[in-house]
Amino acid sequence: MSRLRLLSAAALLAVTANSHASSLIVTTDAIVGALKATSDATSNVTSSFRDDKIVRAARDDAASFVASEGAIRGVRLESALEHIRTQVPQLAATDAQLAQAILTL
């Protein structure tokens, strides 16, 4: 009888380990998918604004914004953020994401 209990416990442990591993994979896939969608949207914006004078002029302000974790918000950056959101109203990116995108131009 103890052998049956041992096999049952081993089977239960195997099933439990598989469920945790699969939930980790699903969670990881969801996070990576969300990051990829944000990255794709941001890269689409940066490619369309690569030659935009308002956005290009905001690079220094964007660098200060990113380096200060949002504490320093320059006038040129504010103007560029407003300009981008006017041009692409469906964009759902944060100010930090847009500032990082401006730095990649």
Which residues neighbour 76 within 8 Å (Cβ) at sequence distance 6 or greater?
54, 57, 58, 60, 61
Give the pTM. 0.55
Q: pLDDT digit string (tens) for 12-48?
A: 666 555 555 455 555 556 666 655 655 555 555 555 6
22 residue type, one letter: S
**What pLDDT was estimated at residue 37?**
59
Q: pLDDT digit string (tens) for 72-103?
A: 999 999 999 999 989 888 888 899 999 998 88
Question: Are 46 and 99 a contacting pair, CB within 8 Å?
Answer: no
Calculate the dihedral angle through the C-alpha atoms of 27, 32, 38, 42, rounding to the nearest 10 degrees.
170
Percent of residues, the chain, with pLDDT higher than 90: 28
Quick check: 61 pLDDT over 70? yes
**What pLDDT was estimated at residue 17?**
55
